[in-house]
Amino acid sequence: MTSAPPLKTISDIERLLEAHADLHALLVHVEILELPDAWIGAGFIRNSVWDVLHGREIDASRLNDVDVLFFEPDDLRKEHEADIERRLRTLAPNVPWSVKNQARMHLRNGDAPYHDTFDAIAHWAETATAVAARSRNGKIEVMLPHGSTDLLSLIVRPTPSFKNKMDVYRERLASKDWSARWPRLTMLMTWKEAYPTPHNSFDRIDT
């Protein structure tokens, strides 16, 4: 890809992922496995968008992991996830694949059971991280349970489900070097900063 398209909408993000050969190839690898409700999420997309918004080339090799998400309530074994990772490594050996069945992740996160992958990522820590993409017949689809505004505006905000887990949110941000890599980020560190008006877990941030 010689130049990145402007990023203003979800469709722009989809076109970005489709145009970038390395990112598109990873999405196709996951599609080949035909896992139920399967996506790649989190930094895979967030970092790429932030890089473009900072005028940088996307470098997929800088990803600490490539988070593959699927939803399969009938097989919650970690061995099942490990087998999927092995299959992905045969397709792309040098990629740091990380596979998690979202049907069991509520247990680790202290939440009620999730309904599907959309519901699972809606409960992630930051609105800008709660994003996933998939390839369907070579066409890229992106889902953002909390909309695209924060991601495209370089805003780091806790998701509504983290209202009572702000210590976890702040500890997570403290472990990252996001501001060093993307200096234009606005980091909202308190609930009052993030939601100056009343907000509950059923609200959705406008796209």
Q: Can you tell me which residue has the tokens 């074994």?
A: 77
DSSP symbols for 11-67: HHHHHHHHH-HHHHHHHHHHHHHT-TT-EEETHHHHHHHHHHHTT----GGG-S-EE
Confidence at 4, pLDDT banded by 50, 70, 90: low
Cβ partners under 8 Å of residue 74, min gap 6: none
CATH topology of domain 10-148: Beta Polymerase; domain 2 (3.30.460)
pLDDT of residue 55: 95
The average confidence (pLDDT) of the chain is 93
pLDDT of residue 203: 47
pLDDT of residue 185: 98
pLDDT of residue 206: 40
Q: Is the pLDDT of residue 66 over 50?
A: yes
Confidence at 200, pLDDT banded by 50, 70, 90: low
Predicted TM-score (pTM) above 0.85: yes
Assess contact for 32 and 145: CB atoms under 8 A.
no
Mean pLDDT of 143-153: 97
Assess contact for 8 and 111: CB atoms under 8 A.
no
